[in-house]
């Protein structure tokens, strides 16, 4: 089906919840918008943007709507879901600067659990089949792409994605925004603090946490505090408690 989204008519599957969530929570994804806005300001021009777990392309449409089309000079959208790749092609066809990579990305070239639908708008690596994955470093190399900002939203696989991006992180120090979702990390069998450990090892020292509604969380990011936050996410709320994390060197 097609519905209006960020000033365009976007094609998506029935049950894709993002438009309703954005309507009810206007600050949702504002940390991402602010991160890209700041990168554009520092560069003084449009930035190169990587969207891992790009789904239907709503993130690019959001950034266009909020910051204008020129804010993004080049875009790489990565998604391993067959259906979402089709929507991406349709929804971003108006841009000539979009590269699509139909791939699962992980720590290394390895077999990982395949994607399954945990609800209509999300594909998570929790399936029974083993499927091949690549590193994001290699996807970026093959696309000849140097990112200014990397966004990762892969439902519990974010740390694994970043672990396969160390060459890019070390060489170019892009701003990174990722989803830290303790329940999905547990369900996908990934380490709770891997994303933080990887980024720290590559010189990232500044981390800002935001709740799932886009509100800043004034907390520390030392391991003990993060473990306490994870326990709270796992034992309170509706099971979808998580944080968006902005990381900079």
Here the CATH number for the domain that contains residue 105 is 3.40.50.150
CA distance 42 to 60: 20
What residue ranges of the chain have pLDDT lower than 70? 120
3-state secondary structure of 188: coil
pLDDT of residue 236: 84
Domain that holds residue 159: 2-248
3-state secondary structure of 41: helix
pLDDT of residue 1: 84
pLDDT of residue 9: 95
Number of domains in the chain: 1
CA distance 99 to 81: 16
pLDDT of residue 122: 79
CA distance 207 to 185: 19
Please enumerate in sequence order all residues whose Cβ is within 8 A of that of 201, keeping only pairs 6 or more positions apart, or say none. 166
* pTM summary value: 0.96
pLDDT of residue 215: 93
Q: Which residue has the tokens 């974010």?
A: 158
pLDDT of residue 182: 97
């Amino acid at each position: 089906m097609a519905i209006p989204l960020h000033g365009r008519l976007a094609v998506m599957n029935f049950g894709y919840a993002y438009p309703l969530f954005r309507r009810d929570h206007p600050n949702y994804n504002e940390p991402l918008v602010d991160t890209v806005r700041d990168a554009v300001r520092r560069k003084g021009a449009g930035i190169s943007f990587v969207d891992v777990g790009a789904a239907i392309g709503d993130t690019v449409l959001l950034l266009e709507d909020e910051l204008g089309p020129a804010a993004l000079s080049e875009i790489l959208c990565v998604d391993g879901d067959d259906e979402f790749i089709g929507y991406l092609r349709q929804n971003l066809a108006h841009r000539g600067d979009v590269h699509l990579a139909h791939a699962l990305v992980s720590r290394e070239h390895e077999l990982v659990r395949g994607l399954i639908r945990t609800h209509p708008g999300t594909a998570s690596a929790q399936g029974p089949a083993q499927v091949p994955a690549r590193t994001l470093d290699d996807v970026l190399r093959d696309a000849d792409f140097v990112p200014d900002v990397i966004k990762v939203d892969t439902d519990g696989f974010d740390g694994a994605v970043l672990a396969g991006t160390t060459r890019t992180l070390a060489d170019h120090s892009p701003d990174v925004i990722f989803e830290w979702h303790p329940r999905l990390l547990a369900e996908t069998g990934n380490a709770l603090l891997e994303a933080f450990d990887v980024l720290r090892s590559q010189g990232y020292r500044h981390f800002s946490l935001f709740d799932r509604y886009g509100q800043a969380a004034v907390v520390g990011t030392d391991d003990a505090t993060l473990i306490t936050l994870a326990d709270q996410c796992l034992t309170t709320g509706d099971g979808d408690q998580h944080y968006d994390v902005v990381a900079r060197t």
